[in-house]
Structure 1
Amino acid sequence: MTPPRRSAVRSAASATGGTDAPRLDVVDPRGLVDLGADLLGPHDSRELERYVDADLTDRDLEGASFAECVFEAPRLGSARLRGARLVESVLSDSFAPELAAARSTWRDVRVERPRWGSAELFDAELRSVRIVGGKIDFLNLRGARLTDVVVEGCSIGELDLGGAETMRVAFVDCRIGTLDVTRASLAHTDLRTTEFAGVDGFEGLRGATIDHLQLSLLAPTMAAHLGVVVD
């Protein structure tokens, strides 16, 4: 497997005030073989392959491993990816009403323009991952571990980071409906350029960076949560 190029990619929200920006490696798989996805199955180990318009609806890919692979416009409806591994790979224009990827591993991965309904990535591990654009109705990262992750220009209806551990994570120019950080452990997590309508588990925001406007918008809800009367 070709070692990833180590030139770091900085998030659009530059680090200030002691908040470290994510450090991302360039993901650019080359020398790929174009294959059909008909024979993919659980616990497969694939490397240096490209799949175009692959229909993986209802496919059992539990424990499968993909290294330096590219998936272009895959259909992932009800695909079972529990415990799967994606390393130095690209996933573009993917469609999944339900994405079942609990306890999966994503390392040096670029996800472009996902259209996901319910994305179950609880207890997953994401390291050096960039998600760009797209729309996700419900992103369940409860109990997940995120290190050097950028989510940019993405619309997320509900983001569940309950119990998650994050380090150098940035949400850049995103729109989030409800953000749940109950019992989360956030370190160097940048939310400054992102809009969110509501936050559950305010205590879990410890370690995150927000801007003054976000603080003013959250103030009434925070006061009510703390039982503070503002008169």
Structure 2
Amino acid sequence: MPARSPRSSTIGPRLSLQAPRGLEWRAEPQLLDGEHREAEHYERTVFDGAELGGITLQECLLEGVSLNDTELRGARFIECSFEDLFAPVFRASRSSWRETALHSTRWGSAELYDSRLDGVHLDGGKLDYVNLRGARLTDVLVSGCIIGELDLSGVTATRVALRDCTVGTLTLDGARLKDVDLRSSSFRGIHGLDGLRGATIDDQQLQLLAPFLAESMGLRVEG
């Protein structure tokens, strides 16, 4: 059954994530672009600068892995778990994420534009800039994260929740939202207010948005 917030008709993300089990530990793994790897455990491994475009990881666990400037364009992650993922530059445009959890992520710039996220939980961590332009998000929960800039321009988002997050700038130009819950998170600024249609906010957030809404409508407010 979909999770519902108290006294709300907003439908929350439908998640049924399970930690990968029965994994083979890879001491010195080597990955190649386009490979399909399954049920493997990578720990404290460095893939910085590697060309891994189109790779598929299924039911894998990655702990303390560094993926700085790794080419992951078109990669697929299925029923995986990432812990302490590190990447000052994370390059994974047009990637696919399904039934996957990410804990304590540290990203500087994350290129995830034109990607697809289905059943994903991003929990905790610090992310400077997340580019999800044109992405499709379904059943996605982002919780306890500090995000400098979150760019959701042109996204199609269904049953998405930002819970207890601190976001500097949220950009929503051309976004199409349905059952997107922004309550309990804070934002310093929001661009593309028209893109908020379909989102749920709380009373306090509405008060903070009032000046931006007035400006976007050309209203002059005088006491």
TM-score (normalizing by structure 2)? 0.97
Tell me the residue number matched to 1:4.
none
Counterpart Cα distance in 2 of 1:15 and 1:51: 39
Tell me the residue number matched to 2:130.
139
CA deviation map 1:114-173 (0-9, x unaligned): 000000000000000001100000000000000000000000000000000000000000
Tell me the residue number matched to 1:88.
79
Counterpart Cα distance in 1 of 2:216 and 2:185: 22
Shift, 1:73, TM fit: 0.5
What SS is found at the alignment partner of 1:114? Answer: strand
Check conservation: 1:9, 1:25, Cα contact below 8 A.
Answer: no
Tell me the residue number matched to 1:115.
106
Shift, 1:197, TM fit: 0.4
Shift, 1:36, TM fit: 3.6
Counterpart Cα distance in 1 of 2:106 and 2:16: 24
Aligned length: 222
Counterpart Cα distance in 2 of 1:9 and 1:40: 37
Tell me the residue number matched to 1:43.
34
Tell me the residue number matched to 2:172.
181
CA deviation map 1:170-223 (0-9, x unaligned): 000000000000000010000011000000000000000000100101101210
Residue 107 of structure 1 aligns with an amino acid whose one-letter code is R
Structure 1's consecutive aligned runs of 4 or more residues displaced over 6 angstroms after TM superposition are none
Check conservation: 1:15, 1:21, Cα contact below 8 A.
Answer: no
Tell me the residue number matched to 1:193.
184
Tell me the residue number matched to 2:23.
32
RMSD of aligned C-alpha atoms? 1.3
CA distance 1:9–1:74, change in 2 (3 Å): farther
TM-score (normalizing by structure 1)? 0.93
Identical residues among aligned pairs (%) = 46
Shift, 1:93, TM fit: 0.1
Residue 47 of structure 2 aligns with an amino acid whose one-letter code is L
Shift, 1:16, TM fit: 4.1
CA distance 1:142–1:16, change in 2 (3 Å): farther
Residue 135 of structure 2 aligns with an amino acid whose one-letter code is A
Tell me the residue number matched to 1:67.
58
CA distance 1:37–1:182, change in 2 (3 Å): farther
Tell me the residue number matched to 2:10.
19
Shift, 1:37, TM fit: 5.0
Q: Which runs of 5+ in 2 are unaligned?
A: none
Shift, 1:17, TM fit: 3.0
Q: Which runs of 5+ in 1 are unaligned?
A: 1-7
Shift, 1:224, TM fit: 1.1
Counterpart Cα distance in 1 of 2:22 and 2:107: 29
Tell me the residue number matched to 2:145.
154
What SS is found at the alignment partner of 2:113? Answer: coil
What SS is found at the alignment partner of 1:82? Answer: coil
CA distance 1:118–1:45, change in 2 (3 Å): same
Counterpart Cα distance in 1 of 2:154 and 2:40: 35
